[in-house]
C-alpha cells in the first residue's frame, strides 16, 4: 500500500525489491511480484510538499522517456496535480499504465525496462555521494539526473536540440525541483567520487557504461558503451557551475 507519490507511480509497480549499500543504489535485491497494490491517492494530501515534489519527478519521467503528449500535459496541468483532484488521479493512472506496460514486456530488465532508469545513472551516483540522506531525496536526484541526461544528449552527443533539453530543465525547475549539481545542499561530491559511483551502476555490462539517453522529449533509448571520457568531461563542466 504505497503512501507517497513516488511509490504510487514507480516503486510499487513492477515487483523489484532492493536495498542500498555503501557501494551504490539498489544493488542488493530480488524480483517478487505483489498479489495486489492499493494506491489511495487521498493519502497524498498528508505528504510534505518536498516529498510530493520529489515524487513528481517520476511522473515527468514517463513523459520524457516515451510520451511527449503526457509531458506537454504535465507542463499545462502540474499546478492542479499538486493541489489534488482529477488531474492528480489522471497523472498517477497514466504513469502506472506506462510502467506496467514496460514491465510486462521485460520483467527482469534485460531490455526495455532499462528505459525506466532515465536520469537514474547520474541520480543514483549523486544519492550515494550524499550518503542516501535527506540532503537529496530520490526524486530530487532523479530530477537532476534527467536534466543531466538531456543536457548530455544534447551537448555531448548531438542527439537533440539544446532548446529541447532546456525545455525539460525549465519544467523541472518551475515546479521547484533541483536541476543542477550545485542545487544539492552541502559540499558537492568530487568528480572522482561521482565517476567511481557511476562505474558501479547496475547497468554496467562488461565494464561498459550504459546510459538512458534521449533523441527528444518522449524518445529515450538505451545506449551501451558510452565514452567514459565524455561523461567525465561533461560532469567536470557541471561541477564547475556556480
Give residue-wise pLDDT tens across range 36-56: 999 999 999 999 999 999 999
CB-neighbour burial class of residue 140 (10 A; exposed 0-12, middle 13-18, buried 19+): buried
What does the pLDDT average to over 215-237? 94
User: What mean pLDDT, rounded, does the chain reach?
Assistant: 92
User: Is it the case that residue 199 has pLDDT exceeding 90?
Assistant: no
What was the pLDDT predicted at 56? 98
User: Is it the case that residue 201 has pLDDT exceeding 80?
Assistant: no
- Range of the structural domain that residue 80 is part of: 5-240
What was the pLDDT predicted at 208? 79
What does the pLDDT average to over 221-231? 92
With beta carbons less than 8 A apart as the criterion, state whether 138 and 198 touch: no
What does the pLDDT average to over 149-164? 97
Query: What's the pLDDT band for 104 if we cut at 50, 70, 90?
Result: confident
Give residue-wise pLDDT tens across range 67-88: 999 999 999 999 999 999 899 9
CATH number of the domain at 203, please. Answer: 1.20.1090.10
d(CA 119, CA 202): 14
CA 116, distance to chain mean position in Å, is 8
What does the pLDDT average to over 113-137? 93
What was the pLDDT predicted at 203? 65
d(CA 97, CA 90): 11
What was the pLDDT predicted at 205? 64
User: Is it the case that residue 202 has pLDDT exceeding 70?
Assistant: no
Query: What's the pLDDT band for 19 if we cut at 50, 70, 90?
Result: confident
What was the pLDDT predicted at 16? 82
User: Is it the case that residue 139 has pLDDT exceeding 80?
Assistant: yes
Quote the number of domains for the chain: 1
Beta 16-21 vs 24-31: how paired, if at all? antiparallel
What was the pLDDT predicted at 67? 97
Amino acid at each position: 500500500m504505497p503512501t507517497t507519490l513516488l511509490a504510487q507511480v514507480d516503486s510499487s509497480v513492477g515487483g523489484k525489491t532492493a536495498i542500498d549499500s555503501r557501494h551504490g543504489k539498489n544493488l542488493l535485491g530480488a524480483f517478487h511480484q505483489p498479489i495486489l497494490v492499493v494506491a489511495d491517492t487521498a493519502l497524498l494530501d498528508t505528504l510534505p510538499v518536498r516529498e510530493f515534489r520529489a515524487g513528481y519527478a517520476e511522473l515527468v519521467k514517463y513523459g520524457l522517456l516515451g510520451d511527449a503528449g503526457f509531458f506537454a500535459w504535465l507542463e499545462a496541468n502540474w499546478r492542479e496535480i499538486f493541489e489534488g483532484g482529477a488531474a492528480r488521479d489522471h497523472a498517477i493512472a497514466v504513469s502506472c499504465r506506462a510502467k506496467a506496460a514496460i514491465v510486462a514486456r521485460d520483467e527482469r530488465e534485460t531490455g526495455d525496462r532499462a528505459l525506466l532508469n532515465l536520469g537514474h545513472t547520474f541520480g543514483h551516483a549523486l544519492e550515494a555521494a550524499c550518503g542516501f540522506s535527506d540532503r537529496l531525496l530520490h526524486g530530487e536526484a532523479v530530477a537532476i539526473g534527467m536534466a543531466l541526461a538531456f543536457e548530455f544528449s544534447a551537448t555531448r552527443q548531438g542527439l537533440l536540440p539544446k532548446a529541447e533539453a532546456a525545455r525539460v530543465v525549465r519544467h523541472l525547475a518551475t515546479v521547484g525541483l533541483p536541476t543542477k549539481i550545485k542545487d544539492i545542499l552541502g559540499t558537492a561530491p568530487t568528480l572522482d567520487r561521482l565517476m567511481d559511483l557511476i562505474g558501479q551502476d547496475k547497468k554496467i555490462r562488461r565494464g561498459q557504461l550504459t546510459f538512458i539517453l534521449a533523441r527528444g522529449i518522449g524518445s529515450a533509448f538505451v545506449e551501451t558503451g558510452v565514452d567514459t571520457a565524455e561523461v567525465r568531461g561533461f560532469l567536470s563542466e557541471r561541477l564547475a557551475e556556480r
